[in-house]
Structure 1
Amino acid sequence: MSDYSVKSVQTKAYQDQRPGTSGLRKRVPVFKQEHYTENFVQSILSAIPGGPKDTTLVVGGDGRYYSPEVINIIVQIAAGNGVKKLVIGRDGIFSTPAVSHEIRARKATGGILLTASHNPGGPNADFGIKYNMDNGGPAPEAVTEAIFESSKSIKEYKLVELPQVDLSKLGESKLGPIEIEVIDAVKPYTAYLKEIFDFELIKSYVHSDDVSVLFDGMHGVTGPYARSIFVEELGLPESAVQNCVPSPDFNGGHPDPNLTYAHELVDAVEKGKITFGAASDGDGDRNMIYGAGAFVTPSDSVAIIADWADCIPYFKKGGVKGLARSMPTSTALDRVAKAKGVEYFEVPTGWKFFGNLMDAGRLSICGEESFGTGSDHVREKDGLWAVVAWLNILAAAEKKGIKGINGVLQDHYKKYGRTFFSRYDYEEVESDKAQEVMKELESAYGSSSFVGSTLSATSSSASFKVTECGNFTYTDPIDKSVSKNQGLYTTFEDGSRFVVRLSGTGSQGATIRLYVEKYSKDASEYDRDTQEGLKPLIEVALATSKLVEHTGRKEPTVIT
């Protein structure tokens, strides 16, 4: 007879397990240290409000390297802590938005996601673990801080030694004291999207003679979901999807859907003159929309989805309660909100801030400039939701004589003007050098003469008068919590601005993100190249922050 008794394992605490907005992210060798993963999983369970006993948790991730091993660690520690049931995606594959939906649909206690999102995978690459709450959204700061405090002082973790779960076998089973249900994580999510969007209208559109579609899964989690939606539901050929088999190392690629890392999609779309191209990231919460000769910035994407919301059944039925964007995201969405008389919010980077507003019934559609777009259908950004939303919009626009992605973009600019927007990422910068850049700007802001001064570009006659600057602080209108130091911003008289912030989504060093934005109502500029239009502003931002001088980086790692 098997011994399913609870065992206490003595351990040593690690001091580097503070989870950020997106959980704990480190390189795989860090997670493989003795007790490291076990400590963090135990700390998550210990921090669950009300405790772990008799809870139901949803488990899965993007299938990256080391995921199967960690799932079995979670099973044993969950059993040791009295968790009642684990709902696990087949083969450990479970997109982040699908986990959020499953938590909400089952009224589960929460979920443990194994993902480092858009970061590379492999034996020496990135791994991540994060906890989502019963609303389906990322754990708030009070819970992540409780996890961190537990991790710093943990002396033991509890487990039950159990045989490995066969993650390929669907069905329910009892494994010692814990119930295990391995599910097809794709079907419930696909069924939910069919409730949200007009699939018959989309199907008619994508089968038009002059419309072609290509979706790139980037070897991440959305591959099986994309096949379900595009091939099985919409009846498109297999050639409409590529790179849709999940890989532990994303086939050696970087699963970040932007113009740099999704170049295979961009090349294929341009070569084949494809009407609609799209990509998603490793865990399925980001997206890129790209048609032949037409790239949609994430800032424009969320604004256009909001503007066309009434053609989507979900919003036609429930209305649009409010709109929101992260602070670095361009102000294009604000103009839509004002035109429609809808409440709108500017929040720090991090999806949990949107979740609070959604739970309070004050937010329907939101987005981040980092290729994240979503709505209150779940509590995570949702890459495939955004992709299907665009297909729904294109199908509705076609009926109004507006053709293709570029047609929708130009129509939007005519109504609202164009917001030129770009982000420069400087990845894995030495942390002290990254801090020097921030201090440089803070020092400039501290000068009484900075506001009101004029900053000039060197390569042109362009100049910008400073009207406002600061470090963004957000007071949550729902729980009144205050989030400080969320990014340094400089705003100019003409509505242009630049923002500099340090990102916490990497696993090593610091990533400096520089965001630049320019607004124009001059129709002659609507077709202008984004980088050319922003060049003077980028020069001013680099000169003011002395980014090149402090970091030695003459070029960004990625431009989006």
Structure 2
Amino acid sequence: MQRIVFGTSGWRGILCEDFIFENVKIVTQAIADHVIAAGEKEKGLIVGYDSRFMGERFAREAARVLTGAGIKTFLCNRDTPTPVIAFEILRRKTAGAINFTASHNPPEYNGIKFSPSWGGPALPETTHDIERRANEMMGEVCYKECHLDDAVRAEMLSEIDPMKTYLEDLAGKVDFAAIAKLGTIAVNPLYGTGRGYLAEPLMAHGVKVVQLNAHRDPYFGGFPPEPSEKYIQDFINMVKGDPAIKLGIATDGDADRFGIIDDDGTFIEPNYIIALLLDYLVRVKGMTGGVARSVATSHLVDAVAKKHGIEVFETPVGFKYIGELISQDKIIIGGEESAGLTIKGHVPEKDGILACLLVAEMVAHEGLPVRKLLERLYEQVGRFVTKRENITLPPEIEAAFADKLKVAPATIAGVKIMEKVTIDGTKFILEDGSWLLFRKSGTEPVVRLYAEAPSEVRLKELLAAGRELILS
């Protein structure tokens, strides 16, 4: 049997291989035991799921195990976005939630994500405890299951629909009246849980909406449900082909990530959206506090922070670290280059729904498309161009890679290294302000290479130097 291992966003596996009912029940019991040991049994747990195969079934089996362990369970009545589940944890003051989701992974995957009572993704000390408990139980019948009808009669199980309260709260954080003046908005929930969460509130406030991929499809149209340029060409072509569309907004499978398409069909990198929204929230909405970004995220964020005189928190990759800062009310906005962000006063979890609506508000208020807003920002703080590549390692290089970066070279691409950052991976900051980050995958023989420079030409030089350093 394979060990249960929680990554940055929970335990994920391939359906019918390791992600099977028996393992799901064991992990659920491990979470129940963790909650009981923490003295939070009486608070109950929420159980949700995304739009993947068998999501409802897995959720119901988890509810049987939880109620069998004496934990009151609130079962979502339809596939539900991850940020909405986080909102419901805080609203109901539960001990947390179990969410069946593999986020943007391909359709053959599913996963379990545990979020504790503070609403963000579980921190490593929590996931390590759940891992330990689960792996100690592998191969044993270690749980007691309660029939769901009996659980309902005992008032240990109830179905919930958290959409209304979440959208009511969102209406206080987004200026829908401004968005209504923008014009037509294209919405693409990528067959996932964002269905209805973007289009319905927009239409309720008088916005004309056109939709694509707005029905449930566990195959996600044959692609991973990720709103990146590679996987949403149908949406890009839709926006490009209709001059009435002023903005395209998309969410991933569990609606915690966002994708933005400008009115001319240009895909806008998430890195730049984080910086643009930081500037907008400070300058227009008057928000105060710091800003958080992962070590792999653009330093355009830092340049905007410097412009406004605010503190920057650099975190390891994994939104739990940013969520913790939101929970502590230390930051205005926190984001990652992988298209996750949230803001002060909101959930300590990535929220693609909120991100999309804030971008729509910003574009409507400023009266400019996103690319022109970005050019305006570049004029104020300088230009930043960022890219990520995955480098597959031959076996002989993978074995030696851990030692390769322990001793930093004096220069990269002819420029002196000024600083070495080892928060997560190895990041070299160069004398001209450009940087390279090397992060080894924990699950495959791949190094993720991130680079940022003030121009495309310089970026290509950096990436070439990074590839040479990895493969030499």
TM-score with structure 1 setting the length: 0.78
Shift of 1:53: 3.1
1:507-540 Cα deviation digits (max 9, x unpaired): x6355321110036xxxxxxxxx5x562222111
State the shift of 1:503 in Å. Answer: 4.2
Which residue does the alignment assign to 2:362?
393
Q: Establish whether residue 303 from structure 1 lines up as the match of residue 303 from structure 2.
A: no
Q: 1:365 aligns with which of 316, 329, 333?
A: 333
Output the CA distance in 2 between the equivalents of 1:251 and 1:177: 41
Deviations 1:204-226 (A, max 9, x none): 223xxxxx321211111112212
Do the aligned residues in 2 keep the contact of 1:220 with 1:247 (CA within 8 Å)? yes
Could you tell me which amino acid in structure 2 is paired with residue 391 of structure 1? Answer: A
Q: Deviations over 1:246-297 (max 9, x none)?
A: 2222232211111101111112222224421121111111111121154322
Match of 1:78? 66
Describe the SS at the equivalent of 2:226: coil
Q: Structure 2: how far apart are the matches of 1:38 and 1:46?
A: 12
C-alpha separation between the residues in 2 aligned to 1:495 and 1:189?
41
Distance 1:434 1:262 in 2: 34
1:216 to 188, 192, 212: 188
Change (3 A) 1:77 1:544: same
**Aligned with residue 153 of structure 1, among 136, 139, 146:** 136
The residue aligned with 1:491 is 429
Are the aligned partners of 1:114 and 1:128 in contact in 2 as well (CA < 8 Å)?
Answer: yes
Task: Tell me the distance in 2 between the aligned counterparts of 1:51 and 1:469.
Answer: 42
The answer to whether structure 1 residue 283 and structure 2 residue 254 are counterparts is: yes
Q: Deviations over 1:444-482 (max 9, x none)?
A: 5426xx22x3x44xxxxxx43333335x13xxxxxxxxx
Q: Is the 1:45–1:52 contact (alpha carbons within 8 Å) kept by the matching residues of 2?
A: no
Pair 1:241 & 2:211 matched: yes
Which residue of structure 2 aligns with residue 185 of structure 1?
162
Offset at 1:177? 3.6
Structure 2 residue corresponding to 1:62, chosen from 34, 50, 63: 50
Q: Note if contact 1:116-1:126 (Cα within 8 Å) is conserved in structure 2.
A: yes
2:212 matches 1:226: no
Give the direction of change, closer, same or farther, for the CA distance of 1:533–1:297 in structure 2 (3 Å limit): farther
- Aligned equivalent of 1:465: 416
1:37 and 2:37 matched: no
Match for 2:80: what amino acid?
F
Q: Distance in 2 between matches of 1:380 and 1:246?
A: 24
- Provide the rounded CA distance (Å) in 1 between the counterparts of 2:148 and 2:350: 35
Gaps of 5+ in 1: 1-13, 165-172, 207-211, 457-462, 474-485, 521-529, 550-560
- Range with bigger deviation, 53-62 or 389-398: 53-62
Change (3 A) 1:290 1:62: same
Change (3 A) 1:304 1:142: same
User: How many residues were matched structurally?
Assistant: 466
The code of the aligned residue for 2:336 comes to E
Within the candidate set 100, 106, 117, 2:86 is matched to: 100
Q: Name the SS of the counterpart of 2:196 in structure 1.
A: helix
How far has the Cα of 1:96 moved from its partner? Answer: 0.6
The structural deviation recorded for 1:235 is 3.6
Amino acid at match of 1:490: F
Match of 1:525 in 2: none
Which residue pairs with 1:404 in the alignment? 369
Structure 2 residue matching 1:418: 3-state secondary structure: coil
The alpha-carbon distance between structure 1 residues 432 and 141, as it changes in their structure 2 partners (threshold 3 A), is farther
Shift of 1:366: 0.9
The one-letter code sitting in structure 2 at the alignment partner of 1:487 is G
Change (3 A) 1:80 1:434: farther
C-alpha contact 1:434 1:510 (8 A) present in aligned 2: no
CA distance, structure 1, for counterparts of residue 288 and residue 330 of structure 2:
9
Q: Distance in 1 between matches of 2:325 and 2:94?
A: 21
Number of the residue aligned with 2:3: 16
SS of equivalent to 1:82: coil
Conservation of the 8 A alpha-carbon contact between 1:372 and 1:383 = yes
**What are the Cα deviations for residues 28-84 of structure 1, in whole angstroms up to 9, with x where unaligned?**
123454721111111111112524632321111212112122111111101111112
Alignment correspondent of 1:333 = 301
State the AA in 2 paired with 1:192.
D
State the Cα RMSD in Å.
Answer: 2.4
1:198–1:392 CA contact under 8 A, matched in 2: yes
The 1:361/1:33 distance shift into structure 2, 3 A limit, reads closer
1:369-418 deviation digits (Å, cap 9, x = unpaired)? 011121130011111111111111112112xxxx2112211111111111
Q: Would you say the 8 A contact 1:226–1:244 is kept in 2?
A: no
1:512 aligns to what? 447
**Residues 74-97 of structure 1: CA distance to partner in whole angstroms, max 9, x if unpaired?**
11101111112x222223x11011
Amino acid at match of 1:389: L
Identical-residue share of aligned pairs (%): 28
**Equivalence for 2:348:** 379
User: What SS does the corresponding residue of 1:498 show, helix, strand or coil?
Assistant: strand
- The partner residue of 1:446 within 407, 419, 424 is 407
- Cα distance between partner residues in 1 of 2:3 and 2:397: 20
Could you say if the C-alpha distance between residues 341 and 71 of structure 1 is closer, same or farther in structure 2, counting changes exceeding 3 Å?
Answer: same
Q: Equivalents in 1 of 2:425, 2:67: separation in Å?
A: 42
1:425/1:267 CA distance change after superposition, 3 Å: farther
Unaligned runs of 5+ in 2: none
Instruction: Give the whole-Å Cα distance in 1 for the aligned partners of 2:394 and 2:468.
Output: 20
Cα separation, 1, equivalents of 2:130 and 2:364: 46
Residues 95 and 222, structure 1, Cα contact 8 Å, conserved in 2: yes
Match for residue 222 of structure 2 among 230, 252, 261: 252
Partner Cα distance (2:57, 2:441) in 1: 28
Tell me, yes or no, if the aligned pair for 1:57 and 1:111 is still in contact at 8 Å.
yes
Structure 1 residue aligned with 2:102: 116
Structure 1 residues 353 and 32, CA gap change in structure 2 (3 angstroms): closer
Q: 2: distance between equivalents of 1:136 and 1:246?
A: 26
- Give me the whole-angstrom Cα distance separating, in 2, the residues matched to 1:310 and 1:465: 34
AA aligned opposite 2:119: G
Instruction: Give the 3-state SS of the residue equivalent to 1:204 in structure 2.
Output: coil
